[in-house]
Every structure is written in structure tokens, then in C-alpha cells.
Copies of this chain bind each other. A is one copy, B any other.
Amino acid sequence: MSPEATEAPTRSPASGTQRSSSRLRLLVLDRDPGFTQVLANRLDAVGWELRTVSNPVTVDALVTMRLNALVLDLAVIGPGSWEYLERVCARMPALAVVICTGPSSVAQRVRGLRLGADAWMTKPCHAEELISVVEAALRRHRRAEMPELVQTTTIGELTVRPDLYQAYVNGQSLELTAREFEILQLLSQSDRVLRREEIYERVWGYAMAHGDRSVDVFVRKLRQKLRAGSPGWNYIHTHFGVGYRFAPEPDVEAGAGCDEHPAPRAGSALLGV
């Protein structure tokens, strides 16, 4: 087989970005409690991680927060806000910055945008609109950073490389097919039991027909290849009547009595539907 399929290239691609699949992190620098509260409620529903601060924050502090987006009221910064904005944008080019501040002149808005802000909203404004503006800005960023999101992970003897759409054991490719890889990746990313319907829907993209055994068949193929490449390990566990769970465990071949209940990870199953 072709070398590339057989041996995992050594170079490490995905220079791990921090913002993996976690929730979007947004900081709001604003003093209006009412405004931030409304925003908080709305964002909570959307699932974003919101942090609100009403006093100036140093640029370095912002950096350590690993934000995805920043909503800034220039009034909070006061004089020197232009320099501040410029430094923030220069320091974190990948950060989505939305200025949300009181009445301003055209010249001011132009200046803000030229310094690196992605959008300018004038207060008072509707929370929903602000959110969609932030979303629009993030959409661009995400598109730009897509390639960075792939991160190779290693669990047990297994190495999953999304950039190559392949899994390896000791640098040896498992020769997974597209679908097999997707399922393995999905399973390896969650440490809970996944129902067949869930797996099917997330991999195939649409609802599973009643009685469809595709997932079972693929799990079998996966186990086959995993066993071949990494004998002595058990990766995919069956939860009778529920689905499958991924967790690397050395085979307790010999009489070791208790083989059961392998570490009930947090948030075990979802229980019956």
C-alpha cells in the first residue's frame, strides 16, 4: 500500500488551536447592566460563553481570555480608545471585534473600522441584532480558520488524524474507509454512549430508518480493523439496548474477574430516549 496510507507523516499538522470545538467565547466590555443582562439571557440560549466586564481590561488580559469575539463600548475605555482598539486588533487579528457604542460621527465609525473593527453598532440597539452582527463577523473568521480546527488526538494506542482522514496505530494506517473514519472519529470524540440513531444521523446526515443495521455493520468493520492494528485492546463497547461507547481498554484476557462496567464515565448514557 502506498506509504502515505501506511505511515503517518511525522510532521504535526494541526498546530493545535485552542478554540477547538468548545463553545464560542465572547467578551462584552460595557457598563449598561440592562443591556448586558438581555444579552446574557439571549446568548445563554444560543450556547455561547459570555463574559461581561464594565471596566477597561488590558490587552494582555484579553489575550489570556482566548476570546472568539469582543463587543466593545468605546466609552468604557475613554480617552485612548482608538489606540486601545488598534492594539487589540493588531494583537489578535483573528478576533472578531464589534464596536457597540453611543452616537458617533461618520468619521469616527470609519476610523474604527479602518483600525480593524469588524462592525459598528450604534446604541441603543437591539440585542438580537447585535448577536447577528457578531455572528456575521465570526462566520468570516471561522471560514478563515477552518483548517486549524482539525486536531489530531491520541487515545490509547490510537491516533486519529482528521487532516488525513485516517487513524493510525504506531504510525501504521488502519486503512479506514471514509465512513468508517467518520464513525470512529465521532465515537472517539465523545466519552459517552451514543445511540445508533444518533450516530447515524450525525454521520449520514439524515434520520436512520427503523431497523437499519448499517451502524452495526460499520462498528463490526471498525472493530475488525482496530483489532488487526492494535490487538490486545478493546475500543468500542456495546451497550445492550442502547448503542456504542468508545473507550480504549487493554484486554483483560486472563481470568481477571471483573471485566464489567468499564468506568462509568460522567454523564453515562442518555437513558431511554
Question: A residues engaging B (CB < 8 A)?
Answer: 1-5, 9, 11, 13, 93-94, 106, 109-110, 113-114, 116-119, 126, 128-129, 132-133, 135-137, 139-141, 143-145, 147, 150, 162-166, 173, 175-182, 184-185, 190-193, 202-205, 234, 237, 239-242, 245, 247, 249, 252, 258-271
Not counting A140-B140, A163-B192, A164-B192, a sample of 17 additional A-B residue pairs whose C-beta atoms are within 8 angstroms of each other reads: A1-B259, A1-B264, A4-B247, A94-B143, A106-B128, A109-B132, A110-B128, A141-B144, A144-B144, A164-B239, A177-B265, A177-B266, A177-B267, A178-B265, A179-B267, A182-B270, A185-B270
Q: Is the CB of B192 within 8 A of A13?
A: yes
CA distance A4 to B165 in the complex (A): 28
Instruction: Knowing A118-B140, A202-B271, A270-B162, say if A1 contacts B177 (CB, 8 Å).
Output: no
Question: What's the minimum C-beta distance from A124 to chain B, rounded to whole angstroms?
Answer: 11
Question: What's the minimum C-beta distance from A1 to chain B, rounded to whole angstroms?
Answer: 5
Q: Is the CB of B185 within 8 A of A267?
A: yes
CA distance A137 to B136 in the complex (A): 9
Q: Is the CB of B267 within 8 A of A180?
A: yes
Q: Is the CB of B267 within 8 A of A176?
A: yes
Q: Is the CB of B261 within 8 A of A5?
A: yes
Q: Is the CB of A178 within 8 A of B271?
A: no
Q: Which of B166, B193, B203, B247 contacts A271 (CB 8 A)?
A: B203
Q: Is the CB of B136 within 8 A of A264?
A: no
Instruction: Knowing A237-B2, A271-B205, say if A150 contacts B192 (CB, 8 Å).
Output: yes
Contacts of A262 in B (CB 8 A): 1-2
Q: Which of B94, B113, B165, B205 contacts A242 (CB 8 A)?
A: B165
Contacts of A258 in B (CB 8 A): 1
Q: Is the CB of B182 within 8 A of A267?
A: yes
Contacts of A176 in B (CB 8 A): 265-267
CA distance A124 to B98 in the complex (A): 22
Contacts of A192 in B (CB 8 A): 13, 147, 150, 163-164
Q: Which of B2, B184, B234, B268 contacts A178 (CB 8 A)?
A: B268
CA distance A137 to B119 in the complex (A): 9
Q: Is the CB of A113 within 8 A of B135?
A: yes
